[in-house]
Amino acid sequence: MSYYLNSDKHLDPGPIYVRENGQLHMVSLARGGIRSSLKRPSPFRLFPKGFSVELCMNREDDTAQKEKTDHFIFTYTREGNLRYSAKSLFSLVLGFISDNVDHIDSLIGFPEQIAEKLFSAAEARQKFTQPGAGLRALQKFTEAYGNLVLCSLCLRNRYLVISEKLEEIKSFRELTCLDLSCCKLGDEHELLQHLSSEALSSITQLHLKDNCLSDAGVRKMTAPVRVMKRGLENLTLLDLSCNPDITDAGVGYLFSFRKLNRLDISGTGLKDIKTVKHKLQTYIGLVHSKVPLKEFDHGNCKTEGWADQVVLQWDRLIVEALKPSSVREPQKTAQYFYQNRALVEASRICALADTHMNSSGKLQFYKEKALDCHGPLLKHEASSNQESKKSKKRTFEESEQEENNSSQASKQKYVCLAVEDWDLLNSY
């Protein structure tokens, strides 16, 4: 203790008390002696003299400082005092894994409840918006949880999102509803080819309104179903309206969709509408609707699943990237202006197409519940009249005979495989 008292290189420890003969005395370092504690002792000094606090903002070590405080939850009491409590071990582990979610090997077999919380934590950190790492992280979730990540995707009028996030969109699996209306994809777009893949064979509702499609695009989209009985074989609703390059021949490719019960071909380039109506009713049992069907008003299709906010983040980032800043060059500002003008005109074209269809009439088809076109005969109740059965059977046989008579021409149109079909078959 004497060494400590005589040392000059120590910090100020504050008051030091010594008990002697039952009395408490305070050591006086200045005089090197001990004095009685009759006076009130000075308060304890938490920090040594010369200590100062500096508030640092926007420094390079902000990340390290955040990691130190990220383990605590700061709140305020009713009195206004700052209070902190330690986070749970689960929250700490969840945060660490979400920061490194792109390095996960696989999530197959991982509990869905924990995976959803992990996805939300990664989404809050905007991990899925990062180039490269976001795609790898999203693929881990989609390959393990399928339609839980996303079961319905609406990209109506979002061609920029498709262009910038095409690989991320292609990573979604087991979608049941997909809306690509007014995106101007065209026949050769990569996403259109992806529609016929095994990953999207679960789609039941597909909206391709105003996408600059022609008969070649329809033939390519239906080739897996016609050739290999795979692809969009579960499709029940299809919207091909506002594609004027689709003709009567393109509609013939749709006969391979045996489960189709809703079809919209308004605003297409059909020449013989009466013949097309008759063929649709004969081959797949679709009847022309005299009133607009509510399934094609695009109000039911929306983005649903864990990744619904992720799609909104993509859209928001792309819109922010297109906004001109004050420091941009005049050339870039002009480029931004004309890009926005093109997008606005594209949306106007889509709206004008709707107005044109309303004035000229819609070509929407539905399948009657009592009609069954998959079997050889129409099903009736046991109490129906025997004569009506025979007459309908005779009518069916006559139509079947007419179909056999025209088999030479129809086989080349709908059954025989073109060179492009064989190329597509070889690609699989």
CATH number of the domain to which 315 belongs: 3.80.10
Whether 128 and 209 share a structural domain: no
Structural contact between residues 222 and 414, judged by C-beta atoms closer than 8 angstroms: no
Measured CA to CA, the distance from residue 127 to residue 114 in angstroms comes to: 17
Instruction: Give a yes or no: residue 200 inside a domain.
Output: yes
Residues 107 and 240 in one domain: no
Cβ(251)–Cβ(214) below 8 Å? no
Please indicate, yes or no, if residue 350 is contained in any of the structural domains: no
One domain, residues 158 and 305? yes
Q: Rounded distance, CA 72 to CA 301, Å?
A: 42
**Among candidate residues 99, 121, 148, the one where a domain is terminated:** 148
Helix, coil or strand: residue 161 = helix
Which residues contact residue 286 at a Cβ distance below 8 angstroms, ignoring those fewer than 6 apart? 260, 261, 263, 280, 365, 366, 367
Task: Give the residue among 396, 365, 207 at the shortest CA–CA distance from 280.
Answer: 365
The residues, any chain, with a CB within 8 Å of residue 106's CB and separated by 6 or more, are 140, 143, 144
Q: Is the domain of 160 the same as that of 295? A: yes
224 & 285 share domain: yes
Same domain, 302 and 173: yes
Q: Is residue 17 a part of any domain in this protein?
A: no
Q: What's the domain range around 119? A: 83-148
Same domain, 234 and 301: yes
pLDDT values of the chain reduced to their tens digit, one per residue, 428 residues: 455 455 555 556 667 777 777 677 777 655 555 444 445 556 656 566 666 655 555 555 555 445 555 667 777 777 777 777 777 889 889 999 999 999 999 999 999 999 999 999 999 999 999 999 999 999 999 999 999 999 999 999 999 999 999 999 999 999 999 999 999 999 999 998 899 888 899 999 999 999 999 999 999 999 999 888 888 999 999 999 999 999 999 999 999 999 999 999 999 999 999 999 999 999 999 999 999 999 898 777 789 999 999 999 999 999 888 877 544 455 554 454 445 445 444 444 454 445 445 534 789 999 987 444 444 333 333 344 444 444 544 555 555 555 555 444 444 444 455 666 656 556 65
Same domain flag for 241 and 317 = yes
Name 126's Cβ contacts closer than 8 Å, sequence gap at least 6.
Answer: 313
| Predicted pLDDT of residue 391 | 52
241, part of any domain: yes
Same-domain pairing of 295 and 176: yes
Indicate whether 175 belongs to any domain. Answer: yes
Instruction: Specify whether 185 is located in the same domain as 300.
Output: yes
Burial letters 227-255, b for 16+ CB under 10 A, else e: beeebbbebbbbbbbbbeebbbebbbbbb
Residue 109 lies in a domain: yes
Same domain, 94 and 121: yes
Per-residue pLDDT, 406: 47
Q: What is the predicted pLDDT for the residue at 323?
A: 78
pLDDT at site 215: 95
pLDDT tens per residue across span 71-104: 677 777 777 777 777 778 898 899 999 999 999 9
Q: Is residue 120 part of a domain?
A: yes
Rounded to whole angstroms, the Cα distance separating 195 from 202 reads 10
Domains in the chain, number:
2
Domain assignment present for 410: no
Listed residues 368, 398, 422: the one ending a domain: 368
Out of 148, 171, 195, a domain closes at 148
SS3 labels along 337-382: HHHHHHHHHHHHHHHHHHHHHHHHCCCEEEECCCCCCCCCCCCCCC
Structure tokens at 241: 């309206």
Same domain, 196 and 98: no
Nearest to 411 by CA among 246, 259, 255: 255
